[in-house]
């Protein structure tokens, strides 16, 4: 897994919550974490303070494989805020992780026209600031 540098980051940064801080700490080290409920064994994404299945507060973290499959995508050509315009077209995507959860992301490092439902993808990290590294997905390299 690689981390790409991105100076002069102007896009909105994720608004981090106390219970999601560990996720964003891990992305800086190239790890994609999923919450795991010790009481009911659920894998949870996005991170919560309490398990949404059983309301237990005994939540742990597991490291995801970083692999996934495109469940759906939409190539956005217009209608975004000015701070996203330089990135157009943006491939919005929902990726299913083998661990269970579905995540919202962008598919990067490929021609948008090549993306398809069922495409095998892997996580790739883009360092936005010294504190925040954002996970995206890219096609699995053969």
Partner 1 sequence: MSIAIIGIAEVPTLRDPERTRWDILLDVCMAAVRDAGIDKDDVHAVISPNPMAQPDMANDMALGKVPEVLGMKGCRDIAIANAGGTSNTNCLRLAKSLIDGGQADFVLIPHTTVQSDIPPADLINFFATAPLDKQWEYPYGVTFNGSMGLITNRYMHETGATAEQMAAVTVSLRAWGALDPNSIFYSKPVTLEQVLDSRVVSTPLHAKECNLLADGGGAMLVTSAEIAKEFDKAVYELGHGTRFMSATPFMRKDLFHRKAYREGSADALKQAGLSIHDMDVRQIYGAYPYTQCSALEGYGVCEEGQGAALWADGRCGPGGDLPCTTMGDATGRGHTGSGVSMAFYLETVRQLRGEAGERQVENCEHALLTTSGGSVMNACTTIFGRSPK
Q: What part of residues 34-73 is at the interface with partner 1 (CB under 8 A)?
A: 46, 71-73
Is residue 93 within the footprint of partner 1 (CB under 8 A)? yes
Number of helices (H) and strands (E) in the chain: give both, helices first: 1, 9
Count of CB atoms situated within 10 Å of the CB of 86 = 8
Is residue 14 within the footprint of partner 1 (CB under 8 A)? yes
CB of 65 to partner 1, least distance (A): 19
DSSP assignments along 106-124, one per residue: EB-SS-GGG--TT-EEEEE
Is residue 78 within the footprint of partner 1 (CB under 8 A)? yes
Is residue 103 within the footprint of partner 1 (CB under 8 A)? yes
Is residue 90 within the footprint of partner 1 (CB under 8 A)? yes
Q: Please, where are the H alpha helices in 12-139? A: 21-27
Count of CB atoms situated within 10 Å of the CB of 127 = 17
CB of 78 to partner 1, least distance (A): 6
Site residues for partner 1 per CB under 8 A: 11-17, 20, 46, 71-82, 84, 87, 90, 92-94, 102-106, 117, 134
């Amino acid at each position: 897994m690689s981390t790409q540098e991105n100076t002069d980051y102007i896009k909105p940064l994720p608004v981090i919550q106390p219970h999601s801080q560990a996720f964003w700490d891990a992305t800086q080290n190239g790890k994609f974490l999923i919450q795991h409920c010790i009481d009911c064994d659920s894998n949870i994404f996005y991170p919560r303070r309490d398990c949404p299945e059983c309301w237990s507060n005994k939540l742990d973290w597991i490291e995801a494989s970083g692999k996934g499959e495109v469940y759906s995508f939409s190539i956005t050509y217009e209608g975004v805020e000015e701070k996203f315009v330089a990135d157009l077209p943006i491939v919005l995507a929902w990726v299913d992780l083998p661990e269970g959860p579905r995540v919202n992301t962008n598919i990067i490092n490929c021609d948008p026209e090549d993306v398809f439902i069922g495409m095998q993808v892997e996580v790739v990290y883009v360092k936005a600031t010294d504190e925040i590294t954002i996970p995206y997905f890219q096609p699995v390299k053969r």
